[in-house]
Amino acid sequence: MRVGLIGFGGLGILVAKELAADEAIQFVGVAAREKQRERVHGVLGKVPLVDSADALLALKPELIVECASHAAFRQYAEPVVSAGIDLIAVSVGTLADAEYRERVLATARRGGATLEIPAGAIGAIDVIAAARHAGLTRVVYVTRKSPKAWKGTPAETMIDLASVIAPELFYDESAEHAAKLFTEKANVTATLALAGIGFQATRVQFWVDPAVTQSVHHVEAEGACGTLTIDMGNNVAPADGRTSLQTAMSIVQAVRNRVAVLRI
């Protein structure tokens, strides 16, 4: 399968390294910054480096994987699915914008393509997506991160991170609000909302906790099928100390499922 990759930061590198050894997968090009050329070639060999959707599509990929940012999603998503190429994307917080979401999905329908969202940093997405068919009444997502992990986000305007000495809830809103406000930090809230009861009904709570050393995720759901509670403590990749290893492996699994005889 011919694969195009968007983004070659910490996440893209992890995905590329893991998939590069698969004989069934051939990377035909990477959309990334020019300064990343040496890094791309070091992992994938002399694959073309491009900076536009047209250039990436010209390489005739059968599947494109986005591991970059909200801005990259907006740049590439519509041209890719319009061309009839399936897209696996992680920067799905962009889809909290209802008008934009419907436009992307309508474009995919016209192009005969699919937009696939991997589970990313959280689990139980398959359970949530299945249970919604019978009816879900409640979905809540809670995350706990250290003060350091919240730096550089809107959390800094909501709480004095430097003075936190005990766990503190500083944000309790809808998934729509969270995905729009926290952008790159809240893609999982969008994934959960799309899998379950929507952006307005899905509740999101953010905590700052000086005792945690991982990104801690907690999901609760209730409905006709029963109840679900899941807790995860995710590690970052040793290579950069920032990228969620679980997120990277969820993308790898989604790509490998495309060529697998047994799909789980």
Active site residue ranges: 217
Residue 159 phi, psi (nearest 5): -155, 145
CA nearest to 58, candidates 71, 72, 68, 48: 48
Give every strand in the sheet of 203-208, ordered side by side: 168-174, 203-208, 136-145, 215-223, 226-234
